[in-house]
Structure 1
Amino acid sequence: MQQKEYLVGVDMGGTKIAVGLLSGDGKIIKETRMDTRGHEGPEIVVNRLVEAINALSEGYEIKGIGVGVPGIVDTDNGIIHYWSTFNWNNVPLGQMLNAQLDKKITVVNDASAATWGEFNFGAGRQSKNMLFMTISTGIGGGIIFEGQLFTGSNMLAGEIGHVTVNPNGPTCNCGKSGCLEAYASGVSIQRRAMDAIKNSTSLLVEMEKHESRPIDTKMVFAAYESGDLVAQEIIEQAATYVGIVLANFIQTFNPDRIVLGGGVMKTNSRFIEKIEEVTQNYVLPSYRNTYEIRRSQLFENAALIGAANLIV
């Protein structure tokens, strides 16, 4: 017997948009992915998104549609105030979608959506206070406080990637210097490796030649696992700064669970072990047995699942 209502979740990324049809228990029944092409403008992207949602949900009764979007989002009014990738400003995404779909629409920051997904259906289940960090192209995050998604007074909470770890460090994409993202994101790890091999001997040089393509983050982690000293310095510095930031958050709001997601955390390496070690070293002794660090269970589906289940 078919259930009466289903949910649609959308994860809008800088490169791809994922659209999923979900049951009420967070299971993805079917999904589709397409190029974002945000440079074509919000109207064209919305039209393509509406087509995808209609095709995916044909024959199903849809309760609502939840959309996760990078950037600064006004969830109450469904507005993207700023999406830096495509320089979108004050885009009324909820209103634009509702005009064509006539469904309940919720628009939320993608990291907040992923946080909610992990808390309810992934590695955050059965926690009460949870910190989520996604380490991918950039670094984002979200906070669960007393079982609820905490977004702060202006819905801006959770910008973990832009915590300053070194005031004299490299310039971040946000314009500040020495952000965590400037050291530990996938793009930053790749960039630092490409700069480092210009003046040093490294396994990465051989890997670049052998694969006939520029160094990427996966290569850096592979070299790290092989004991390459250049890769080791880059990866362990990234892990150190992540651990320091986590230790500060642990001492600030005392979470019982920390979930690490994003493409960088998919690497089968000692990276997460190094993060755990540094975190343990930097928290006060009384905090050391109060939390656990887990790898994401949902990964690329976290924002899609979370956005669908934030429909109000």
Structure 2
Amino acid sequence: MATGYHPGELLVQDRADLTGEATFSLGAIGETVPAVAADFLAEQPMIIIGATDRAGRVWATQLTGDPGFLRSPDPRTLVIDALPLPGDPLADLLGAADAPAGTPHAERPVRLGMIAIEPATRRRMRLNGRALPRGGGLHVALDQVIANCPKYLQKREFRILQADEVTAAARTVTSGTALSAAQQRTVREADTFFVATASDRGDADASHRGGNPGFVQVLSPTRLRWPDYVGNAMFLTLGNLTLNPAAGILIPDWSTGSVLHLSGTAHIVWDADERFRVPGAQRLVDFSVTDVREISAASPLRWSDPGYSRFNPPVS
């Protein structure tokens, strides 16, 4: 994987007629964490991760901790002092690897896609690599470190709940195969979600999508659609989907700490008549839901109301 584009990314770049822009953006993909990026990571209370579970489903989830729980002890390593909590769709995959040597999966790296964002400053960075849980956390050998632009990221400030507040917040886990009416409202009201994908070789990626509330359409309890806005022309997400349609979505509730996990498949809609109906859409992505996991009080973080990005196109 490293710093070059794979065939799926090249195919999308060519079809979008953005090969030149993609070649320029290639300079933002590296293999090491610069010192300024290491400092950025150390300040964050959250990182989004994406991976493929043992059933072949792709999921996105979040890991949280006090600032400092993300560390880059050397330019090719990221240490995350956290693991998914019980009930999280990636808990079994990552937790089992933290077993003594010689047990199944103990030394088998998990291909992980990651994105760290700082909503207050609209900064973000993506990291991809191979993770082994160690000592209650993850040690990730990095393959890609990617600088991202701040477009479509809503401004928010965070606070971390105190211990007594965490105890008082009841945590529940519900699963299904379709979105309930309440979950459909959550999707329609979202201004942010995170999407995880993987290439045909299994290399994982996690990315951010943002817009004004309503930018994600609920076409049915098992079908969503969102616009692909102007970006950096890398097409890391769409390139993966071209080779492997499996995808996972994480929709956070910024005010309650609850999260909605969706897994399924996605494909790109190139039809001009379809995209012209959606302001700002360069392409559309249709997502078919196969698995739903909702977890209340999943995070000790609470975030302020958003300051919407000036780049967000209007929602019709």
Fold shared by both chains (TM-score > 0.5): no
**TM (normalized to structure 2)?**
0.25
Structure 1 or 2, whichever has the larger Rg, is 1
What TM-score comes out, normalization by structure 1 length? 0.26
Q: Could you say which structure has the higher helix fraction?
A: 1
